[in-house]
Structure 1
């Protein structure tokens, strides 16, 4: 077995194929999106045996403060041969090289959870996947008086410009064990939906909701960040924005939308349920201190 870093477009496409095979129920970033995310802090790995791809890995700074995220994945037919262990050690070493004291990962099935526990990972958060079947455009409730809704794509710079105020408040509201520490660069690159609907009042962003489209399955999409500024909550703005996203999906051939919501975010889970989302899966986030034994 040989573990190498992704360098060529062919490497990136092999990396994508592993992700699609292991978690077919989630969108996988396109080649262009993966390339756009290239930074010195991020490591993408491929495990091969000759010309056969066995698995892949990802390590980078996590959105959680003072932590790195790792994702080792092995194709089903090549498991229980030490491939995942070898990948995990390489990824954890990379996180340690960034000077980060904690490594985090996500598991959403029993074998993955048991694998993580073998290496001392412990549960720190839970989240649920909720799924909406798009069969028709919903009736969109009116936006609150004084609010204009635009898309970030039609107003370049607006998403970046709202980071220090609206963005930081939205990120601080996540129900997680460790506060999020997201840079402007990652906010701009990783947190922007396409489309992303922005609610404006007096020229300031007070709410957002959008979609992440699936390049490999145009009938599916993931909800991007849905958030409303504190002084605009309980006025129906989140409902309006989310319905705008669903209506857009209905008009563009999207048949299913899914979203992940933290276990402690009862308000958003309740809103999704009221809109017609069904709970379909549970994800567990785990963490442990470095170095990896």
Structure 2
């Protein structure tokens, strides 16, 4: 996720980090060179490189803009829903840390049970990152688990769900031993269920992309529009056509590329959500709730990017 102050007018035209210029630069250069070739060819061989009225392209550009707007809105909804889900996880984890204070009334057994439950909550947040973002560091999860739990985790197809089952099993044992009442068990179990709801919502976003046919239609139309644009304005713009075409290509290809990044909110691109930083924040908050003082600093953006 890009984290930086709003740039001033001068900085606005020179910022590269966080923009999509690097991704679409080859397409822009290709469109510019194609436009220059068409202008040159039209001057040298007007019978071979013909021009046509650009009015139909204006209608196509309007339709393409509407389609891109719909797709980007849908992509942003996915991005924002993912951020809401992780915000809910932060809220539930902090609330769970407060709720487990009732366990300390059961003496040393309750204190140890609270430590185990919050340790598993930290592990759940880190495991959810590994599930949603391929290539994440699983050592962040394994260092929070006991050797037997780590063995189960490696064998599990769904690591976060396994950790939630371990938490539910701990709560069931506490209830069976009389360390907590039925009401306290229900209160704590509801929080575990809310963590599971966050995981299910994030899995739905990750496993349900936007319809491929819709995305394919937009990609094809954007390329077709930019390739045809020089033919429609070569007579009116002359050697300005490559520059104007490149600017229009930057707008359409940029919106298309930005929609791709927002469609995958848990990916590795700079505009993805900072789920690793949120998981680290949950761990720091829960360690502080356990009374630890040697805490690492909160995650900070590196080169304006927080992941």
Q: TM-score range by the shorter chain?
A: under 0.3
Between structures 1 and 2, the one with greater strand share: 1
Between structures 1 and 2, the one with greater helix share: 2
Q: TM-score, normalised by structure 2?
A: 0.21
Q: TM-score, normalised by structure 1?
A: 0.21
Higher relative contact order (CA 8 A, sep 6+): 2
